[in-house]
A and B are shown apart, each in its own frame.
Chain A
Amino acid sequence: MADAGPQPTEGDDTAGPRPWAGRAVVAFGHFWWDFLIGDTPELFVGVLAVLGLVAAACLDHRLRTAAAFASPVLVALLLTGSVWWAGRRRRT
């Protein structure tokens, strides 16, 4: 992790309030981070992987119908893995 530079401390007069636009950008970033990743990063990465695999398969025209059957199975496997992992963490 890179050094983020001097951090404002309590009573530091030079550390003024962040401008409105800055706060809005940070809040917007937080919203999308929570929305897409939150506490399930495996789903985000898994969906990208599934879409990549399906897109790669569809480059071959003969596999385009087979992909219709494979993509829901891959999504179901992703869900199963995520639920299994969550269950395991909660039980231990």
Chain B
Amino acid sequence: MTATVTHSGTLVLVLAVFLACAVESVEALTIVLAVGVTRGWRTALEGVVAALAVLAALVGALGPALVHLVPLTTLRLVIGGLLLIFGLQWLRKAVLRAAGLKARHDEDAIFAEQVEELSTGAPAGGRDTTGFVVAFKGVFLEGMEVVVIVLTLGSTSHALGTAALSAAAAVVVVTVAGLVVARQLSAVPENAMKMAVGLMLVSFGTFWSGESVGVHWPGSDLAIPVLVGFYGLVAWALVTWMSRPRPVPRVAGDPPGRGDPVAPLTGGSHG
């Protein structure tokens, strides 16, 4: 029984880290591909390697410190709260996108935009600082979110190694897939993946923050998959509710029967 409970928690953790890392990797890979195509692959790879080294150093330095220096109850309260905020932000965005109230992340458009920006003033020779910085920033900034997820989920459940391995596996899978389907990253079901990650982060956040303040979870760790299911139902209900067409308020003097439904908006920013 205990083993089953532990395995279910670990499985959700591995899935959450893998999916979060995969989503961020797709976004970073779009930028790296744009740099590679316009400024050269050497510059792009240098930027990627430098950013990955800094991110790995952050995990290596902060992870053990969090685990060994901060009491578990405090760690779970702070990290549970962080995961709740972060997870709710992801979930809210995914629900709005699924309901057509926010523009979906269009990797093709982002790629074209990056290529256009980087094509102007390409260097004739020597070191390409612009290309390096764009690739570095793309990987570093997208990777920072993954680092936060790996550190929080990994350190709180004492599975930092498993979380880091899961993140590394996602990077490898996305990179290989990205090279195979180069420039067709828009085909990745990014919003569905973001929704799944949001559900898991909110579930872990609810569980750990609750446990730290004294909540008695029936079934212990087994409550985590139950929470995932509950929040999944809530998200599905919200998407259904927000997707339904709304009647236009009738203006005085209009003929009866005008109540046309309002089409869902598709405008909005990326991110």
Q: Which residues of A contact B (CB under 8 A)?
A: 31, 35-36, 38, 40, 43-44, 47-48, 50-51, 54-55, 58-59, 64-65, 67-68, 71-72, 75-76, 78-80, 82-84, 86-87, 90-91
Which residue from A43, A68, A86 sits with its C-beta under 8 Å from B101? A86
CB of B242 within 8 A of chain A?
Answer: yes
B19 to chain A, nearest CB (A): 19
The residues of B that contact A31 with a CB separation of less than 8 Å are 144
Which residue from A43, A48, A51, A55 sits with its C-beta under 8 Å from B88? A43
Given A55-B214, A79-B238, A90-B268; A68-B223 close (CB under 8 Å): yes
Given A47-B85, A91-B262; A54-B215 close (CB under 8 Å): yes
Q: How far is the CA of A51 from the CA of B77 in the complex (A)?
A: 9
Which residues in window 206-220 of B have CB below 8 A to A?
206, 209-210, 213-218
Which residues in window 80-128 of B have CB below 8 A to A?
80-82, 84-86, 88-89, 91-92, 95-96, 99, 101-102
Determine whether the beta carbon of A83 is less than 8 Å from that of B81.
no
Stretch at the interface among B43-51, B155-163, B167-175, B227-235: B227-235
Q: How far is the CA of A40 from the CA of B80 in the complex (A)?
A: 18
The tally of CB-CB contacts under 8 A between chains A and B is 103
Which residue from B80, B89, B96, B215 sits with its C-beta under 8 Å from A38? B89
Determine whether the beta carbon of B230 is less than 8 Å from that of A87.
no
Determine whether the beta carbon of B101 is less than 8 Å from that of A87.
yes
* Additional A-B contacts beyond A47-B81, A75-B231, A84-B242 (9; CB < 8 A): A31-B144, A36-B85, A40-B88, A43-B92, A50-B84, A79-B238, A83-B96, A86-B92, A90-B102
A91 to chain B, nearest CB (A): 7
A41 to chain B, nearest CB (A): 10
The residues of A that contact B89 with a CB separation of less than 8 Å are 38, 40, 43
Determine whether the beta carbon of B213 is less than 8 Å from that of A82.
no
Determine whether the beta carbon of A43 is less than 8 Å from that of B85.
yes
Q: List 9 A-B contacts (CB under 8 A).
A: A40-B92, A47-B81, A51-B77, A68-B210, A68-B217, A71-B215, A75-B206, A79-B202, A87-B99
